[in-house]
């Protein structure tokens, strides 16, 4: 029989190991690196699929739960690996996106950059670690690892803009990490354990005033990482400066990981009552809704397409956080739907616009005149996803908006839905503005000296295929959203009764 624990650990080890191997293979033969990257990618994803297939029975029933002590050391000393439906759902989301994004990177960046793949595989490993671990310090280490490795990726174009953005990103990331670190230290000094399960059982034993500090610091840490309104200043700069696959990766994958942390920490580890007792949940909802509105409003001001998408991320993230914080069954379902839809749609927007950016000198909106005629299929993909983003069916954006507004009204909040709708009016206008510009015809004069700045190894077909794949995934998930409903419902069962999951095995 296959040992499922081994697969789980291999899932973390393979990306790290690949990252380690790439420099070595570069010493030997640079041409072989391509094979290594692609095969590692495929091995990782097939391992993950086999992991799901092995546990398919339990996953279908919604009772999948796995606990494993590394090296047989018991929790207070050793590291525990804990995977349940919640982690699995996010694993599926992240691995699907990462698998395609690595191919997109091969097309977009070219395979001549060894460092790029080292960094991206380390991040992939770290993400797997976060999603699989049952240890709060592990979580912190992996978060810092992500920060350190994603900063050079942001500055990957090696220009002033990128470097500035990376430094700003580091400032904010370290600040966020620091708050989380202090909170973890406080937990450890009081309880003497770092294990999720043990913390969740004993959290009430921490003195109240320390509980407050822990909760607030964790909130701030996660909000900085996500980019909620007063702490969001790094987002636009970073997204604009980073190469398109990295922007897509930050907006579509990393954000998911942070939302997973938010769910895991505040529902599973601390227990949602802690937030409720401090009356912080209402405050978080207000901040998040405000953040969403401001994100959408600021997006209209921007002229840079990638900044527009970045601010729209802030706008949607605010809605997600607010919806999750409502803490009803429906709102959690809505939030998870929104996470899924936002991740898929944002990645497809970044990948399609990444393709289109290759045909313009800068990212500025003015340069986008007539970009639709470069490749009408990609551009219509962009239009479809943009319409999905503002909530038109049959894309999945409509379904997530439906459930979101429904959950707000069900919880008795009648004003936030109107704010969401008002925000989406802004979203609608900025997408329409972009699309109109895309269709505007330009007459190039002969004197215009215009040459495309393309990387020699830029592979147009691969980039196109991946972008279209994401667009199709948006369409398909929207058409068959009923099939998404069942796993999400199972996940929400786990979120709402996290203590139960310990005794399932």
Q: Toward another protein, which CB reaches closer, 98 or 287?
A: 287
Q: Toward another protein, which CB reaches closer, 75 or 416?
A: 416
Shortest distance in whole angstroms from residue 15 CB to another protein: 32
**Contact in structure between 176 and 146 (CB atoms under 8 Å):** no
Shortest distance in whole angstroms from residue 328 CB to another protein: 12
Q: Toward another protein, which CB reaches closer, 98 or 299?
A: 299
CA distances (Å), origin 430, targets 120, 160, 294, 313 = 31, 28, 14, 13
C-alpha–C-alpha distance, residues 206 and 186, integer Å: 9
Secondary structure letter of residue 82 according to DSSP: E
C-alpha–C-alpha distance, residues 31 and 195, integer Å: 44
Q: Toward another protein, which CB reaches closer, 117 or 337?
A: 337
Best CA proximity match to 45, nearest among 6, 89, 95: 95
C-alpha–C-alpha distance, residues 488 and 334, integer Å: 9
C-alpha–C-alpha distance, residues 390 and 386, integer Å: 7
**Contact in structure between 351 and 244 (CB atoms under 8 Å):** yes
Shortest distance in whole angstroms from residue 394 CB to another protein: 7
Q: Is the dihedral of CA 432, 438, 441, 446 positive or negative?
A: positive
Alpha helices, DSSP H, located in 203-242 = 208-226, 233-241
User: Which backbone phi and psi does 77 adopt, to 5 degrees?
Assistant: -100, -50
Tokens 């209402």 correspond to: 282
Peptide bond into 394 cis (omega under 30): yes
Shortest distance in whole angstroms from residue 447 CB to another protein: 30
Secondary structure letter of residue 360 according to DSSP: S
Q: Toward another protein, which CB reaches closer, 102 or 170?
A: 170
Q: Toward another protein, which CB reaches closer, 104 or 382?
A: 382
Shortest distance in whole angstroms from residue 442 CB to another protein: 16
CA atoms in the 13 A half-sphere facing the CB of 354: 34
Shortest distance in whole angstroms from residue 353 CB to another protein: 20
Shortest distance in whole angstroms from residue 262 CB to another protein: 15
Best CA proximity match to 403, nearest among 487, 505, 344, 326: 326
**Contact in structure between 376 and 384 (CB atoms under 8 Å):** no
Per this entry, what is the length of the chain?
Answer: 505
Shortest distance in whole angstroms from residue 496 CB to another protein: 21
Shortest distance in whole angstroms from residue 401 CB to another protein: 8
CA atoms in the 13 A half-sphere facing the CB of 405: 15
Site for another protein, rule CB under 8 A: 168, 171-172, 175, 179, 212-213, 215-217, 219-220, 224, 230-231, 233, 278-280, 283, 294, 297-301, 387, 390-394, 398, 401-402, 405-406, 409-410, 414, 417-418, 421, 424-426, 428-429, 432-433, 436
Q: Toward another protein, which CB reaches closer, 55 or 212?
A: 212
Q: Toward another protein, which CB reaches closer, 78 or 370?
A: 370
Q: Toward another protein, which CB reaches closer, 95 or 404?
A: 404
């Amino acid at each position: 029989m296959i040992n499922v624990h081994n697969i789980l650990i291999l899932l973390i080890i393979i990306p790290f190991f690949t990252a380690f191997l790439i420099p070595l293979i570069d010493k030997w033969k640079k041409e072989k690196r391509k094979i290594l990257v692609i095969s590692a990618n495929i091995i990782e994803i097939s391992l993950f699929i086999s992991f799901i297939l092995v546990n398919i029975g339990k996953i279908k029933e919604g009772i999948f739960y796995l606990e494993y002590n590394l090296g047989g050391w018991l929790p207070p000393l050793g590291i525990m690996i804990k995977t349940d439906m919640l982690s699995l759902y996010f694993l599926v989301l992240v691995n699907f996106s990462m698998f395609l994004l690595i191919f997109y990177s091969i097309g977009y960046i070219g395979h001549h950059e060894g460092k790029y793949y080292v960094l991206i595989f380390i991040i992939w490993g770290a993400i797997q670690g976060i999603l699989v671990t049952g240890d709060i310090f592990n979580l912190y280490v992996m978060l810092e690892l992500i920060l350190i490795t994603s900063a050079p990726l942001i500055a990957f174009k090696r220009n002033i803009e990128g470097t500035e953005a990376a430094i700003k990103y580091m400032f904010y990331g370290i600040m966020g990490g620091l708050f989380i670190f202090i909170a973890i230290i406080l937990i450890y000094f009081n309880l003497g354990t770092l294990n999720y399960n043990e913390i969740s059982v004993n959290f009430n034993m921490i003195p109240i005033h320390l509980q407050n500090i822990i909760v607030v610091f964790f909130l701030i840490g996660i909000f900085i990482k996500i980019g909620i309104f007063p702490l969001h200043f790094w987002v636009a700069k970073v997204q604009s400066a980073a190469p398109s696959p990295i922007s897509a990766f930050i907006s579509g994958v990393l954000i998911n990981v942070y939302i997973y942390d938010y769910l895991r920490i505040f529902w599973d580890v601390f227990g949602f009552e802690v937030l409720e007792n401090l009356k912080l949940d209402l405050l978080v909802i207000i901040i998040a809704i405000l953040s969403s509105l401001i994100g959408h409003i600021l997006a209209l001001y921007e002229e840079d397409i990638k900044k527009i998408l970045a601010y729209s991320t802030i706008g949607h993230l605010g809605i997600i956080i607010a919806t999750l914080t409502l803490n009803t069954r429906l709102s959690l379902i809505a939030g998870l739907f929104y996470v899924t839809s936002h991740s898929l749609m944002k990645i497809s927007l970044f990948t399609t616009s990444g393709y289109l950016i290759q045909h313009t000198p800068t990212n500025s909106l003015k340069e986008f005149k007539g970009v639709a005629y470069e490749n009408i299929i990609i551009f219509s993909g962009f239009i479809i996803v943009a319409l999905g983003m503002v909530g038109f069916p049959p894309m999945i954006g409509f379904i997530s908006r439906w459930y979101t507004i429904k959950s707000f009204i069900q919880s008795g909040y009648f004003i936030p839905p109107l704010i969401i709708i008002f925000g989406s009016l802004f979203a609608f206008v900025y997408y329409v503005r972009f699309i109109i510009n895309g269709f505007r015809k330009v007459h190039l004069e002969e004197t215009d000296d215009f040459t495309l700045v393309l990387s020699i190894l830029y592979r147009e077909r691969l980039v196109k295929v991946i972008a279209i794949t994401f667009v199709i995934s948006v369409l398909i998930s929207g058409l068959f959203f009923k099939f998404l409903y069942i796993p999400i419902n199972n996940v929400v069962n786990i979120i709402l009764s996290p203590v139960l999951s310990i005794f399932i095995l």
